[in-house]
Chains A and B, each alone.
Chain A
Amino acid sequence: MDQFLQQIINGVSLGSIYALIALGYTMVYGIINLINFAHCDVYMVGAYVGYFCMTVLHIGVFWSLLIAMLICAALGVAIEKIAYKPLRNAPRITVLITAIGVSLLLEYGMMFFVKANPRSYPPITGPLESKIIGSQFTFGNITISMQQVLILVITIILSVALQLVIKKTKIGKAMRAVSLDRDAAELMGINVNTTISFTFGLGSALAGAAGVLVGIYYNSINPLMGVLPGLKAFVAAVFGGIGIIPGALIGGYFIGAVEVFVSGAGFSMYRDGVVFAILILILIIKPSGLLGKNTREKV
């Protein structure tokens, strides 16, 4: 039982990371129907920005998180403007290949600058932060580290903020309109390009936050760290129903839990395989995802 609860807690931490990444995938897919392969590398860049803020600039954790989010948002917007915008009306396969290209460029460009060897995140400094993050609770045999609480809290804060932006603000309304019908939205006077850029920025900021949190939690980052979590986060987005924001959260936590339990049951070598098997199963059984509605294809 203790083991079970402990696994759930670990699963929640991992799931939060996947959920944060999956939100970006799902928003971008919802608005321009593109699997943004580069998204997982934005997450990697976020981890490195956090790393450099803490080691070189000696900034505290929370400011580093904020800076990483801002830089990632800028990066996301730049990727969209440079690589995807010229292909707005191109066939989807063209944009998809471009996305793979951008992803590889970020990975190997980063590898060129920071070298391939993994780096370990610096210990948390600063009087307040180290006191908060270093501590951990124990209930019987269950250990909850403060880092895990931090990850969960930040994930909740960010997803609530995201929900508010999407439901309450004008730009959020524009996002929903564009994802429903781009042409109609344009006719209603919505600036489609700005809206798409904003979506990329928002999603990338979340990925950047996930990157810093992963650095704090797992303590090791490398230029290819985004590939697998990115794919799994995408699986999470598909599981919940791509384009649906609560779906991405549910999917993220589900995939995190599955992965932790498969490892816990002693099949850690197979955990990636299980996630992909889930993906193929969902795609066969209910391609629209858990919360998705079936849509009929129109000619």
Chain B
Amino acid sequence: MKNLFQIHGMKRLIALVLTFAIVQLLISANIINDYLQATMVTMFVNIILAVSLNLITGFTGQFSLGHAGFMSIGAYTCALITLRLSTTFGFVLGVFSGAAAAALIGFLVGLPTLRLRGDYLAIATLGMSEIIRITFLNLKITNGAAGLNGIPQFVNWIWLFIFTVGTIWMISNFLKSSHGRACISIREDEIAAEAMGINTTKYKVMAFVIGAFFAGIAGALYASYFYFLKPDLFGFLKSIDILVIVVLGGMGSISGSILAAILLALISTYLQAFPEIRMILYSLMLIIIMIFRPQGLMGSKEVSFTIFRKIGKGFNFKKGRV
């Protein structure tokens, strides 16, 4: 079985390297021009955001409406650092301190609020992200409502690829670990999980902090590509944007989030000129998905190399896991 997963892993590696090489080729041949590249950056940033929110909302079952807040912390931290230290080292430092700052705030906010359930938590996280936005709006160092300008651009396809794949890899590995299983058990039934001896608060906070960390990375990448930041970019609607991706892809499916992020990026590129129609479409999509297919596109399934997955499942069933 170990062997099997190695083949599986090899295939995945080859697919990744191929994707990377093909896009790199297209960029150097200028088939992916600057406009398409900007769309691609949005897409990949959204993938990171959606996967990290999926960890909190889809896998751990804690409904968070404040993901844009964490993203903005990462974005501002990275921007402020790279504005002063405009080197590649500064950029990497910026990304990781942005992520760390987001994780720290996530911890401070999560510890008290994660005792709340469902809708109370949603409102508390929404309030938290509004407070973060208002703080950025009033701080001197972030230049208030006018925002930060001329942030040095470091993000290119290589960085984007590394961070996106890194995020997906780390979060999916986390979910396969015993900690991840504990998180999933909280989603399934919090009381039962507690009865089985799982420290639910600890795991909820853990998922929240990890989600915030990667949202911070996404924000940092965003800041470093688009030169420009202002607090209004990270309002309630941004959180909803991320939520739509997670819901459409399926709460509890990482590949679903990736697919949905790509799909929605394509749709919004087409609807660029009609932002109102885009929001109407988004809202209708939310309602219709929730009424007719609450599990989203993928449910909690993952896309994979199907045949290997089937064999793998066979093994798992023999071991008595359902």
Residues of A that sit less than 8 Å from B by CB: 33-35, 83, 86-87, 90-98, 100-105, 107-109, 111-112, 116, 227, 231, 234-235, 238, 269-270, 272-273, 276-277, 279-280, 283-284, 287, 297, 299
Kindly count the residue-residue contacts between A and B in the assembled complex, taking CB atoms under 8 Å apart.
116
B88-128 interface bits toward A, Cβ cutoff 8 Å, 1 = contact, 0 = none: 00000000000000000000010011001011101110111
Additional A-B contact list (20), CB under 8 Å, known A104-B282, A270-B134, A283-B113 = A35-B122, A90-B290, A90-B294, A95-B290, A96-B118, A101-B290, A104-B240, A104-B279, A105-B287, A108-B279, A109-B280, A112-B276, A112-B280, A227-B236, A231-B130, A238-B123, A272-B130, A276-B127, A280-B128, A287-B116
Distance A124 CA – B135 CA, assembled complex (angstroms): 39
6 contacts between A and B (CB under 8 A): A108-B283, A227-B236, A270-B138, A279-B124, A280-B113, A299-B191
Main secondary structure of the interface of B (DSSP, over half): helix
Taking the closest CB of chain B, its distance from the CB of A27, in whole angstroms, is 15
Q: Which residue of B lies closest to A299 (CB)?
A: B191
Task: Say if the beta carbon of B70 comes within 8 Å of chain A.
Answer: no
B311 contacts chain A at the CB level, 8 A cutoff:
no
Contact A276 B284 (CB under 8 A): no
Task: Give the residues in chain B near A34, CB-CB below 8 Å.
Answer: 119
Residue B17 at the chain A interface, CB threshold 8 Å: no
Tell me if B291 counts as interface (CB < 8 A to partner A).
yes
From B275, which residue of chain A is reached at the shortest CB distance? A108
Residues of chain B within 8 A of A93, CB atoms compared? 57, 61, 63, 118
Q: A272: nearest residue on chain B (CB-CB)?
A: B134
Known: A93-B63, A108-B279, A284-B112. A98 touches B124 (CB 8 A): no
Which residues of chain B have C-beta atoms less than 8 A from A273's C-beta? 130-131, 134-135
Task: Determine chain A's interface SS by DSSP, over half rule.
Answer: helix
Residues of A within 8 A of B131 (CB): 273, 276-277, 280
Indicate whether A92 sits within 8 Å of B280 (C-beta atoms), given known contacts A87-B291, A98-B287, A276-B130.
Answer: no
B189 to chain A, nearest CB (A): 10
Chain A proximity of B175: nearest CB distance (Å): 19
The answer on a CB contact under 8 Å between A280 and B124 is yes
